[in-house]
Amino acid sequence: MAGSVHADAPATGLLSTRRLTWKVGGVAIVDGVSIDLAAGEFLAVIGPNGAGKTSLFNLITGLRKPSDGSVSLDGQDVTRLPPHRRARRGLGRTFQSSSVFNALSVAANVRLAVQARRGGSMRPFPLPGRDRDVAERADRVLWRVGLDDRADAPAGTLAHGEKRKLEIALLLAGEPRVLLLDEPMAGVSAEDVPGLVALIRTLTREEKRSVLMVEHHMDVVLDLADRVAVMHHGALLVCDTPDVVMADRTVQEAYLGEKL
């Protein structure tokens, strides 16, 4: 398996998995995956439909319990921790299906996420004084993703591209050290893709965040990723630089009949 981590190697990444496995009815949906995500690294996870990419994310964030193997953050085993405890340790995730409250304003959605991060209640409207720093933090995050001019709009009225930005804002509100982006370009119109790619590049490279991203658009993957992990039938086929991965014959074969 080119460029990948040996299953017995110590967990050296900011985020590491070892022999991570999830079986359903005896079938391995995720099959012995060992990866290391270094601090400041951008690792893309690709693979044909049904390869197990979202399931791998679910195991890393704790939404699913593995049948075998481990997940560690900063060298600490978090395999048994529930999702909110992993989030508190710096693991943040966007979802393919939207996690936005459509009836609330864009700003109120972000304030809720900031409050949740600070261990506050989920009150949708800030109180004066005590919650001022929450509102200020939310404003900063909205400005950061370029949604400050849409702060008062109901979230349900946002266009697809704007909604993706709001999902990224909700993620940033949690102040994560490791960002898990699940298909950030899904549903985004072709003309909005470059803007969203530029935003993700700025948020990650300039601020040296570590990112694990599942994405089907290969041009986006090649544009952003330092390394690419390819999954097929639940297992890791290759994990290496984009050039090496694109030239790999087993990868071409895995994608047979699909556009790479």
Ligand X SMILES: Nc1ncnc2c1ncn2[C@@H]1O[C@H](COP(=O)(O)OP(=O)(O)OP(=O)(O)O)[C@@H](O)[C@H]1O
Where does this chain bind ligand X (CB under 6 A)? 24, 29, 47, 49-55
- Cβ 182 to ligand X shortest distance, Å: 8
94 contacts: CB under 8 Å, gap ≥ 6: 167, 168, 170, 171, 179, 180, 181, 182, 184
Which of 183/240 has CB closer to ligand X?
183
Alpha-carbon distance of 221 to 255, in angstroms, equals 16
- Cβ 60 to ligand X shortest distance, Å: 12
What element of type H or E holds 141?
helix 132-144
- Cβ 240 to ligand X shortest distance, Å: 19
Is residue 21 within 8 A of residue 65, CB to CB? The reply is no
- Cβ 215 to ligand X shortest distance, Å: 10
Which of 51/178 has CB closer to ligand X?
51
Which of 145/254 has CB closer to ligand X?
254
- Cβ 109 to ligand X shortest distance, Å: 25
Alpha-carbon distance of 136 to 142, in angstroms, equals 10
Which of 29/113 has CB closer to ligand X?
29
| DSSP states of 215-248 | -S-HHHHHHH-SEEEEEETTEEEEEE-HHHHHH-
Which of 49/121 has CB closer to ligand X?
49
14 contacts: CB under 8 Å, gap ≥ 6: 37, 38, 39, 41, 73, 74, 177, 178, 210
Which of 36/182 has CB closer to ligand X?
182
Strand partners, 178: 91, 210
- The number of angstroms, rounded, from the C-alpha of 192 to the middle of its chain's C-alpha atoms is 19
- Cβ 188 to ligand X shortest distance, Å: 16
Which of 63/244 has CB closer to ligand X?
63
Strand partners, 212: 43, 180
- Cβ 64 to ligand X shortest distance, Å: 8
- The secondary structure of residue 89, as a DSSP letter, is T
